[in-house]
Chains A and B, each alone.
Chain A
């Protein structure tokens, strides 16, 4: 497509401008993807180069180092101890002892079992004395996978520490050669509240993230390549094992799935994905524009009781969402207040199928989401609108711009410019908006064609609620949940990357300053 320079762009008519922007957005997508691939390649290349450099550095440290340094390659912290840095030396040595001890006592077993995830499942034997069948449990696939992953983490940590140990020696030699003094243990401790203070501060948060986010995510990614589910829980009934790409094939191929369902997983996945995207689009933009509208209405000059209006709306944020969502969901039920009211007024004869009809249900969740979301957007918009310099409007009015022109030429561009990243995060947040969908409809009405072994999928189910249903369903197909989770990640990551790469171009065009 043709690209225009700034001057040419300004000459275009309104329709052409919009068309140009619209087309250039989509024309930018392949380029953004290409950039992504290039960035990935560079990342891999960079990692390779770094590792090469590190190895070269380690070798040269060994060759040029003195005997203390050389011994440190085997006994971590020896160099530190020999040079008087007792605290560091002890810590290094302790780490090595713990590591070796762990690997000998337990780590070796977990690592060794990792490729098979256990060989011996539970066995049943007849016990003559007690006259009952006794089940003996043997291998535990879940623990093998979990501790296997932890052991791998530990090994990486050990390699890193070992590398630090080597580096320390190299540094210490340099410092001593230049005639300076080494840091003592006291200095080290003091630096933890001073120039190394960031390490102290980050220790707790990062440990939490590592144990409760990183490790589970790695584990769940691995589960996507196993057959871990309710009937293969890895200990009390059957072991689970690696199945390669089978689960992805099931999810993404067009053959009908198991369980006698009439629709393949891929078709179900496609339907849910499309609805997730539609939902995220409407949920984000209806809230955005209506919230901005309400904020502008409250902010308008001459409107009194500004605080009262705002407080009424903010009240909805304060009340825990599950109460309002559950209650509103029941208000729209067949025998709920809304239908009761409409019928008593004689406006309708039969109850409206708010939650029974697919289209009704989808529209209703979007509408209720507006009710939930507007107060929040109103707050954000109020803050930003107050920051727009008043003289911009002043001069626009002197030039004869009407309110609509002021809105499209000043307010909207400013808002979009400032909240661009927020729009993106709120879009991806809405894609994963579990509470609104699950508490309102629980995914209902059920889609009979898609109700399969993988939980019963409904017309308002998002990928995230489907995932929840899979894990809590009768068969607990954790492996399928993992696959869905990974695909959610891929979709969210792709959208984020594309939008981030395209966003600046839109921003610059609309930057009115």
Chain B
């Protein structure tokens, strides 16, 4: 630092020009970098899209652009269990979006707004619970759900139950949001004689649109990407699988040669609606993610 201070007074004009040139150079380098990065990030998706239209062969090949284009793979999907998996996942996602949002908001609102005796203990307890690998619980849940007839072909209700039941533990992001709503609002309403329920309904909820949308969005996207719980509960039954489990099996050694391009087509059909939804609500997602990381 001392050296630079010594140089600085020699030629302020010269340095200014140098700065400009170096900034232009730096920007060019950054543009190059961003183009390369974007290419790397997009190439796999372009590849999957292109390969879903390939009809000359159904297995993996070393080239990307199909020699023969067609919709055979998409048509083929409807002769398999794919529509069933799709519906399973879609219904699970819808139910999870509604129920999980209610549960998460109840939990986070309570922990943000109320000061009760067990509050700190409860939060610490859930932190510790979260350190157990969640997969471990599936061994018993599978057997219990099986006794209740909610596995394999009837996996859907069981799956929704598993997604929703413990979702209260993921309260961190929305609690962070509620913490930022000034408490003086609550107090003012209390002075005016509102009950706690009225405060929630008339004051907090109208202010919470961003976090509600964030919670619905993440809850809706969760089931589309879940593999492990769905795999446990469907356990070998094709009718009870979700898209992740079903498509995963298509890439197994004995199926990949006949199903690879259909996997691509299925992937595209799953990705497109979810991506469009996500892109529409992107703003809320970004707010939630950045807020959540800062507040822990």
Contact = CB atoms under 8 A, between A and B. Distances in A.
Interface of A: 142, 146, 190, 193-195, 197-198, 201-202, 204-206, 208-209, 211-214, 216-217, 219-220, 223, 294, 297-298, 300, 302-303, 309, 311-324, 326-328, 330-331, 333, 335-337, 339-341, 343-344, 371, 375-376, 379-380, 382-384, 387, 399-402, 405, 418-419, 421-422, 425, 428, 432, 434-435, 438-439, 463-464, 467-468, 471, 478, 481-482, 485, 488-489, 492-493, 496
List of 8 A-B pairs having minimum Cβ-Cβ separation, nearest first: A340-B62, A383-B290, A205-B168, A216-B137, A318-B278, A212-B165, A197-B196, A208-B165
Main secondary structure on B side of the interface with A: helix
Contacts of A328: 44
Interface stretch (B77-85, B108-116, B205-213): B108-116
Contacts of A219: 140
B239 interface: no
Interface of B: 1, 4-5, 8, 23, 26-27, 30-31, 33-34, 37-38, 40-42, 44-45, 47-48, 60-64, 102-104, 106-107, 109-110, 114, 116, 126, 128-129, 131-141, 143-144, 161-162, 164-169, 195-197, 200, 221, 224-225, 227-228, 243-244, 247-248, 251, 256, 260, 263-264, 267, 270-271, 274-275, 278-279, 282, 285-286, 289-291, 293-294, 296
A201 B110 contact: yes
Contact of A216 (B140, B200, B270): B140
A137 to B, nearest CB: 14
Nearest to B113: A198
Nearest to A145: B140
A323 B247 contact: yes
A321 B226 CA distance: 9
Given A201-B106, A209-B166, A323-B270, A336 B62 contact: yes
A383 B62 contact: no
B114 A198 contact: yes
A312 B275 CA distance: 12
B129 A213 contact: yes
A315 B244 contact: no
A419 B256 CA distance: 42
Contacts of A485: 132-133, 135-136
A198 B271 contact: no
A333 B62 CA distance: 10
A193 B165 contact: no
Nearest to A196: B196
Contact of B244 (A320, A383, A418): A320
Contacts of A298: 34
Contacts of A439: 227, 248
Given A319-B271, A344-B62, A297 B133 contact: no
Contacts of A489: 131-133
A330 B34 CA distance: 26
Contact of B135 (A402, A418, A467, A496): A467
Given A297-B30, A300-B27, A485-B133, A337 B62 contact: yes
Given A209-B129, A384-B293, A198 B48 contact: no
A401 B2 CA distance: 10
A453 B234 CA distance: 25
A467 B139 CA distance: 11
Contacts of A216: 136-137, 139-141
Contacts of A193: 195-197
Contacts of A482: 136
Given A220-B139, A322-B247, A383-B294, A438 B197 contact: no
Nearest to A333: B60
A430 to B, nearest CB: 13
B23 to A, nearest CB: 7
B135 A208 contact: no
A481 B106 CA distance: 34
Contact of A339 (B33, B62, B106): B62
B294 A468 contact: no
A340 B133 contact: no
Contacts of A205: 103-104, 106-107, 167-168
Contact of B110 (A198, A402, A435, A464): A198
Which among A212, A326, A343, A481 has the greatest number of chain B C-beta atoms within 10 A?
A212
Nearest to A492: B131
A219 B137 CA distance: 8
A384 B294 contact: yes
Nearest to A300: B30
A319 B276 CA distance: 10
A263 to B, nearest CB: 23
Given A212-B161, A387-B294, 19 more contacts: A142-B143, A146-B144, A216-B139, A220-B140, A303-B27, A316-B41, A318-B279, A320-B244, A322-B247, A326-B251, A337-B47, A340-B61, A421-B296, A422-B294, A425-B296, A467-B133, A485-B135, A488-B132, A489-B131
Nearest to B40: A371
Nearest to A491: B131
Contacts of B294: 383-384, 387, 418-419, 422
Contacts of A496: 131
A194 B200 CA distance: 10
Contacts of A379: 286, 289-290
A336 B227 contact: no
Contact of B197 (A197, A315, A320, A337): A197
Between B137, B248, B263, the greatest number of chain A beta carbons within 10 A of the residue's beta carbon is seen for B137
B126 A209 contact: yes
Nearest to B24: A302
A485 B224 CA distance: 26
B111 to A, nearest CB: 9
B257 to A, nearest CB: 10
22 contacts: A198-B114, A198-B196, A209-B129, A297-B33, A309-B38, A314-B286, A318-B221, A320-B225, A326-B247, A326-B267, A330-B260, A333-B60, A340-B63, A376-B289, A383-B286, A383-B293, A400-B1, A467-B135, A468-B135, A478-B139, A489-B132, A496-B131
Given A204-B103, A327-B267, A471 B143 contact: no
Contact of B166 (A212, A303, A382): A212
Given A312-B38, A312-B42, A382-B290, A320 B221 contact: yes
Contacts of A208: 103, 164-168
Given A315-B41, A327-B44, A220 B27 contact: no
A323 B267 contact: yes
Nearest to A425: B296
A195 B114 CA distance: 9
Which of A208, A303, A314, A323 has its CB near the most chain B CB atoms (within 10 A)? A323
B228 A434 contact: yes
A346 B263 CA distance: 29
Nearest to A400: B4
A217 B197 contact: no
Contacts of A322: 225, 227, 244, 247-248
Residue of A201, A434, A481, A485 with most chain B CB atoms under a 10 A cut-off: A201
Nearest to A343: B62
